[in-house]
Amino acid sequence: MTRTVLLLLVMSGTLYGCLGGAARLTPGQQKLAVLQQRAQLQTDRGRQTEAERLLQEALRLAASLDDRQGQTSVLLQQARLARQTGDLVAADQAIAKALPLATGGPYHADVAQERALLELARNDVAAANRWAEIARREEQGELIASRLNLLARLALLQGDRDRAAQLAEEALKKTTDDSLAAERANALRMLGMIRGQQGRHDQAQQELQQALALDKQLELPARIAADLEALAELAGLRGDTAAQQEYQQRATTVRDAINDDKQPPPQPETP
């Protein structure tokens, strides 16, 4: 399993890149990638049970092939699904299985970052920061902006705006490639929020609008909503009540649409 597939299926949650190197996968690995793609589609549609079934099938396939990297990528996907649906126990179990498989390998940083996000979900910012630092240390290059953005987020939660801004600016410099547009938007959103808190409202507005434009281009609804909410918060800081209400209403509309899209399809009436 290539790390590019992991980037698409696990880190972003959306297929906004290309499957570079997928043609070199073996038939078994191709089947594994398809199962993971199908699981991600079910996850995006809010169909957790079906996503879990597909991931269990994928994990059995990877184990039967003695594909340790494949097992790691599936376990990461399982952990991410469990974390996002609030099952932190299941997420912890998946990460605990992934860590010994990943240590010293190309996915070590990915597993460490997922562990950091799990600790953050538990509101343990200190532990999250320790794992995020491991993720940055183990990163082999292509996802460094993601590592820096998470550290910036954690620094902001700890009240260290200067460090958060420094990390986000560093992440921004690492996202000149078009394939990293999503992380560029993350860095811009983070910087916009920080500038707003610092009273640098014009710069904050510019950065948040840039983040919104990128997320719209990538068609990432949850991040579009986050951008609009950040713009609403900024408008509130500026005392522009009308703009604040407009941005918040737009964010609510986007989030409602996301939730509607995740509803199961209506069942046919029983004759």
State the helix-helix crossing angle for 144-157 and 181-197, rounded to 10 degrees. Answer: 20
Which carries the bigger pLDDT value, residue 62 or residue 260? 62
- The DSSP symbol for 14 reads S
Dist. CA 18–CA 180, nearest whole Å: 12
CA dihedral 42, 48, 50, 56 (to 10 degrees): 110
Reported as a single tens digit per residue, the pLDDT across 146-174 is 999 999 999 999 999 999 999 999 999 99
What tokens were used for 178? 């078009």
- Cα 262 off chain centre by: 18
C-alpha 161, offset from chain centre: 22
Res. 261 pLDDT band, cuts 50 70 90: low
Q: Find the helix packing angle between 108-121 and 144-157, rounded to 10°.
A: 20
Q: Are 55 and 77 in contact (CB under 8 A)?
A: yes
Cβ(182)–Cβ(12) below 8 Å: yes
208, two tokens = 């948040």
Q: How many CB atoms lie within 10 A of CB 212?
A: 23
Which has the closest alpha carbon to 28: 67, 77, 72?
67
In tens, the pLDDT along 55-109 reads: 999 999 999 999 999 999 999 999 999 999 999 999 999 999 999 999 988 999 9
**pLDDT value at position 258?**
83
Residue 40 token pair: 């991600």
Residue 124: per-residue pLDDT: 97
Select from 149, 77, 82, 63 the least CA-distant residue to 110.
77
Both tokens assigned to 156: 């902001």
**Can you tell me the distance from the alpha carbon of 260 to that of 10, in angstroms, rounded to the nearest whole number?**
23
